[in-house]
Amino acid sequence: MTGGRNNTAITKFILVGFSDFPKVKLVLFVVFLGIYLFTVVWNLGLIVLIRIDPYLHTPMYFFLSNLSFLDFWYISSTTPKMLSGFFRKHKSISFMGCTMQYFFFSSLGLAECCLLAAMAYDRYAAICNPLLYTAIMSPSLCVQMVVGAYITGLFGSLIQLYAILQLHFCGPNVINHFFCDLPQLLVLSCSETFPLQVLKFVIAVIFGVASVLVILISYSYIVGTIMKISSVDGRVKAFNTCASHLTAVTLFFGSGLFVYMRPSSDSSQGYDKMASIFYTVVIPMLNPLIYSLRNKDIQDALKRYKKRCLSRCHC
């Protein structure tokens, strides 16, 4: 049923997507497809480059390769389904498919929160304790931090998945979004959603606010250390090592907290959709660009790889 609420359990949902823009759906399809392909190629390319270049085998680039890995799956959890719906008359998704899409999307997003906090600690160790950096950021600690981010994100999403499966949906079944996100599911549920609203807020606080707090504490020490550097060039160089991470943090947490820290309502769905486009599609594309375009190490690695390829071709 797509009309008013009734007592029939819903087994599938209709994703509206961008059907309210029929005149530009071809343009939107081309734009989102281009963004998706670019994001996939760039993130996978960055992972491969970091893997094959020994000069990039450092904690910072280990974390960056994992960020690219998360961004690849993050955009892939929503965008292919969105793209397939542009030219489909019946844009339905099963209830289980909907909940699993949100589960994977949420797991990846929560893991990225933790990973960005770990990357802030890495920058703190590099700038505030440069002589002890290799001892502090040992390979075993880096692996533990990344695995911990993945496990924590998975655990946080499992709690939400269990709560969603307790909800009852009796109609309507139209989701005014391009993927199955929790705020939209809460609006459609016939069950009492206040406990899940509280759970959503608590998880947003634990992962979002706690991660931001770790980042702010790390950068308070970083700023204090940078201000003690006597030379201007030294300050600029130290700040440049953090600029990319700060930009990524601001974009990710700013858009994410806008959606998940607010109560769900019908009137907010249009704003949620626009914010969701930014943090599900645009940010995974921007992250590798932010970390690559002005990064001398990445540029040098690309030059070495290009030189290696050219030498093999000449042979």
In a domain, 6, yes or no: no
Do the beta carbons of residue 258 and residue 234 sit within 8 Å? no
Number of structural domains the chain divides into: 1
- For residue 3, the model assigns a pLDDT of 45
- On the question of pLDDT at 22 being above 80, the answer is no
In a domain, 281, yes or no: yes
Distance CA 279, CA 284 (A): 7
In a domain, 4, yes or no: no
- For residue 1, the model assigns a pLDDT of 44
- On the question of pLDDT at 46 being above 70, the answer is yes
Residue 299: which of 49, 38, 4 has the closest Cα? 49
Q: For the residues 283-297, what does the mean pLDDT come to?
A: 87
pLDDT in tens, 49-95: 999 999 999 999 999 999 999 999 999 999 999 999 888 877 889 99
Split at pLDDT 50, 70, 90, the class of 208 is confident
In a domain, 5, yes or no: no
Average pLDDT, the chain: 87
Split at pLDDT 50, 70, 90, the class of 260 is low
In a domain, 2, yes or no: no
Cis peptide upstream of residue 284 (ω within 30 degrees of 0): no
CATH number at residue 21: 1.20.1070.10
Identify the domain containing residue 107 by its residue range. 12-314
- On the question of pLDDT at 246 being above 80, the answer is yes
In a domain, 3, yes or no: no
pLDDT in tens, 84-138: 988 887 788 999 999 999 999 999 999 999 999 999 999 999 999 999 999 999 9
- For residue 24, the model assigns a pLDDT of 85
**Percentage of residues in the chain with pLDDT exceeding 90?**
49
Split at pLDDT 50, 70, 90, the class of 310 is confident
Distance CA 225, CA 245 (A): 17
